[in-house]
Amino acid sequence: MKFCEWFPLYLRITDSLGINRTEDYTSSMELHRLIHNDISLLERYRGRNAFIIGNGPDLEDALTTVSGGYVVVADSAIDTYMELRGIPDIIVSDLDGNIESIIDSSRKGSSIVLHAHGDNREKILHYAKYFPDSVATTQNIPLIHLYNFGGFSDGDRAAFLADHLGAGIITLIGFDFNHVNKKNYYDSNSMIRKSIKLAWAKYLLNCLANSRGSDFTEGSVIEI
Q: How far apart are CA 156 and CA 204, in angstroms?
A: 7
Over residues 111-137, the pLDDT tens digits come to 999 999 999 999 999 999 999 999 999
pTM of the prediction? 0.94
pLDDT tops 70 at residue 217: yes
**What domains does the chain contain, in order, with CATH numbers?**
3-223 (3.90.1480)
**In the structure, what pLDDT confidence band is assigned to residue 185 with cuts at 50, 70 and 90?**
low
pLDDT tops 90 at residue 65: no
As beta bridge partners, residue 70 has 50
Rounded mean pLDDT of the chain?
94
pLDDT tops 80 at residue 67: yes
Amino acid code (one letter) for 62 = A
pLDDT tops 70 at residue 85: yes
For Cα atoms 139, 145, 147, give the angle at the middle one, nearest 5 degrees: 25
pLDDT tops 80 at residue 27: yes
Q: How far apart are CA 26 and CA 28, in angstroms?
A: 5
- Give the least confident one: 21-25, 40-44, 57-61, 77-81: 57-61
**In the structure, what pLDDT confidence band is assigned to residue 62 with cuts at 50, 70 and 90?**
confident
